[in-house]
Amino acid sequence: MSTEQPNGLLTHRTHSILHDFRLTLATRGGLGDALLYLYIAIFLRQYSWVVHSNVLAWMLTAPLAAFGWYLYISTKRIPAERSSSSFWLLVALPLLAIYALRAAFPDLSFDVLSYHLFQGERSIRGPLFMPGDFFPTAAPFNPAPDMLTAISRALLGYRLGTVINWLALVWAAQVTEKFLRPFVTRAWLRSACVLVVFLAEHLLFEVSTYMVDLLALPLLLEATYLTLRADEDKNTRGNIYHIAFLLGASAAFKITNLAVALPLLLLWAFKTWKHHTFAKQLKTGALALLVFVLPLLPFSIYMYRLTGNPLFPIGNVLFKSPYWPTHGGWDNRWGPTGFWQTIFWPVLAAFHPERHSELAVYSGRLAIGVIAATFGIVLLRKEIHLRQLCLLLLASCLLWSIAAIGYGRYGLYDELLAGIIVIVVAAALLRDRAHRTWTSIPALVLSLALLVQIAVACSYVLHHEWGGRSTFIADPSPYLQEARMFLRDRSLPEFLLQEQRNTLATVPVWVESSVKSTGIEVLLDHQRPIISINHPEYFFTRESRRQFVETVEQLSSPQMFSLCLAEEVPGAKQAATLRGLEVGSITPMEIPFFSNRERIGMMLIELRRPEEAEARTKFVSSWMNAAFPDSDYREQITALNAPLSMRAGEKLVLRFRVKNLGYSTWPAVGNQEGRFQVNIGNRWIKTGSKEVNELDGRTGMPADLQPGNEVELPLTVKAPAEPGDYILEIDMVHEGVTWFFERGAMPLRLTIRVER
């Protein structure tokens, strides 16, 4: 009996734990909570990147994610509500039909093949970069959403792997129903209104692609709902921790979601400040901040250790990573120009669709939402939660215009919120007509505008999409042929001919030489390193170019290969030449991209590291012709013996003390041609004019000058032949690259009179 009792007690405790778990899930869980398990798992998998074994890492991640998931749903202040049959028929089913329109055709979107597939395939197996890589993607952003789609792709195959987008939309729709419940009481009508909210073209353009913008929407909407209900819950501290996690996860998915997070956090603070003392608020805020950063932390630390910038490449003006330029910014093709256009961009975007996104079509959902929000704030003074919702839309729209450049894919939350606000404002105005009969007029106008927008949006969805794919309606026969591959398209190499497999098996390392190739390369073999030569930003600074040279030099074989689209071959060859590589044989190769019908015409380009002595020396020293970051071209030059006057044509040896105010070491020795070292030099400028004589003195440094150190240098200057008043400008020059003043430095200027 003594041996059976502990086992019986253990069994009883196990059953009790499982019973509590099932009860919690039954009473508080829903579709979204089930999907949330995967969301938690991908962040924990990033923490386990330090574990070298992928199998062991996932064995650790799975139970920890289950614990975190249980902790989240068991502490929810507002239990999940079961969706009615009308929801599944009027919302989930139509969204599934829209998803199915293109699902059989493999997604070939630009961003998908350029970096989304790469980030997903790499990150579910370990860190984003592997030994031998050189920045394979121009956009190494947090791969969390790509990890979600990679898991779905591994389970269901390439075509149906995008079904996670549909699940995220259904989850977001369930949250949307909670917003509408107080205003639309009939279940069937409310479900129809939920569907209306989601009929915005830029939401539906992505539903069957491997673009990742839809995945954060349920998190943002749930955080919004909890924030609006914050003052109804006595346990405001528990509420903010849930909100903080949802917003932190959303920001990890896409950093531009901070345009939503900031207004929500400010609103929560406003609604709950009276419930706590300042000390409690401070403690709660600190813990909430910790919860917020937990999803962001592992990848931020990883990128900081790799590049020196936790948001790389964003914000490099501040962080000054040596692997990316410190100048530049967002793509200026998109969004508003000027102050007033920025303020009114949510409305003006409807009239400038070419600046709203690459697809250049927009039905204007945000414009209608902003107008409805304005009506709500002015006319519905007693509807406190509704007015707060309207203020949230206006604030997040403004931040979207300013911080997120007003680009379409970065404003999908606002598109959803705009639809919700139009419906609830119209419903509230119609409900208010008992007191003011005229309020039905703006309600009907808003409703009519929304219906027109939906009609336009649906027409766009039938003809446009990020991958340019056809639909079942337009091409039913090819669609049905492709649909036969559902659940049979997990491995791209299985679609290749044996001869192609044999050829690709000999590839030691991939070189990214053009667009839309990295995704295919990583799907063919995720274990091969990838070296980029296509992104000029990675070749702007000396440190980055030195890293590239070292990476290529450390390869066991001088031979590399690149896959590129047939039309991209000239650009690929030019990129290889610019980086000092030699181009070898070029072999045509059709890649059956998960389809025997859908073949991509590509070229397999052989590239080689230079092996001849002269070419090899030039390649090894090529990093020296790159610039420092602009912030490193900073100097302090002090004259030790400056004259007030000189005779025409006279030569003098002047002495200067030079201090390195930058963060890079200035080299004293360049290449064999005398380029790329840092020297001191001078120019003569005629007073009152821009006449410059740049061919005067130069002096090299006796040794490399470390950051913060200084050196005394002589410089022989020769006065101009013509008498007059001149400015003698003393500056440092990075030979063959730039004068320091061209990068913002302040050279020393001496006023000298030249006499006969």
What's the pLDDT tens digit per position in 38-61?
999 999 999 999 999 999 999 999
Alpha carbons 326 and 53: distance in angstroms, whole number: 37
Alpha carbons 342 and 575: distance in angstroms, whole number: 37
Alpha carbons 571 and 575: distance in angstroms, whole number: 6
Of the listed ranges 79-88, 419-428, 530-539, the least confidently predicted one is 79-88
Neighbours of 640 (CB within 10 A): 11
Model pLDDT, residue 3: 47
Q: Is the pLDDT of residue 407 over 60?
A: yes
Q: Is the pLDDT of residue 24 over 60?
A: no
Alpha carbons 329 and 336: distance in angstroms, whole number: 15
Q: Is the pLDDT of residue 656 over 60?
A: yes
Q: Is the pLDDT of residue 687 over 90?
A: no
Give the rounded distance of the alpha carbon of 519 from its chain centre: 17
Model pLDDT, residue 1: 42
Alpha carbons 582 and 608: distance in angstroms, whole number: 5
Token reading at 149: 């789609």
| Segment 69-80, tens digit of pLDDT | 999 988 887 776
Mean pLDDT value across residues 292-305: 97
What are the residues facing 714 on neighbouring strands? 655
Q: Is the pLDDT of residue 631 over 50?
A: yes
Q: How far is CA 656 from CA 643, 650, 660, 676, in A?
A: 12, 19, 13, 21
CA 126-131-136 angle, 5° bins: 80
Q: Is the pLDDT of residue 269 over 90?
A: no
Q: Which is more confident, 14 or 343?
A: 343
% of the chain beyond a pLDDT of 90: 72
Alpha carbons 468 and 479: distance in angstroms, whole number: 14
DSSP-derived 3-state class of residue 670: coil
DSSP-derived 3-state class of residue 561: strand
| Segment 83-110, tens digit of pLDDT | 889 999 999 999 999 999 999 999 999 9
Mean pLDDT value across residues 197-208: 96
At residue 78, φ and ψ (nearest 5 deg) are: -120, 105
Q: Is the pLDDT of residue 65 over 80?
A: yes
DSSP string across 235-290: -HHHHHHHHHHHHHHHHHH-GGGHHHHHHHHHHHHHHHGGGS-HHHHHHHHHHHHH
Q: Is the pLDDT of residue 708 over 90?
A: yes
Mean predicted lDDT score pLDDT of the chain: 90
C-beta of residue 30 within 8 angstroms of C-beta of residue 82: yes
Model pLDDT, residue 731: 95
% of the chain beyond a pLDDT of 70: 92
Of the listed ranges 159-163, 229-233, 535-539, the least confidently predicted one is 229-233
Model pLDDT, residue 697: 86
Instruction: Give the best-scoring range by mean pLDDT among 105-109, 334-338, 660-664.
Output: 105-109
Model pLDDT, residue 754: 93
Mean pLDDT value across residues 170-176: 96
Model pLDDT, residue 10: 47
Which H, E and C letters describe 409-454, residue by residue? Answer: HHHHHHHHHHHHHHHHHHHHHHHHHHCCHHHHHHHHHHHHHHHHHH
Q: Is the pLDDT of residue 246 over 50?
A: yes
Model pLDDT, residue 18: 52
Q: Is the pLDDT of residue 520 over 80?
A: yes
Model pLDDT, residue 233: 65
DSSP label of 654: E
* Amino acid letter, residue 544: S
Mean pLDDT value across residues 674-688: 87
Alpha carbons 407 and 559: distance in angstroms, whole number: 41
| Segment 346-375, tens digit of pLDDT | 999 999 999 999 999 999 999 999 999 999
C-beta of residue 373 within 8 angstroms of C-beta of residue 393: yes
Could you tell me which residues come within 8 angstroms of residue 394 by beta carbon, excluding any fewer than 6 positions away? Answer: 370, 373, 374, 377
Residue 302, burial from CB neighbour count under 10 angstroms (0-12, 13-18, 19+): buried
Model pLDDT, residue 328: 57
Q: Is the pLDDT of residue 481 over 50?
A: yes
Q: How far is CA 91 from CA 170, 190, 404, in A?
A: 8, 10, 30
Q: Is the pLDDT of residue 285 over 90?
A: no
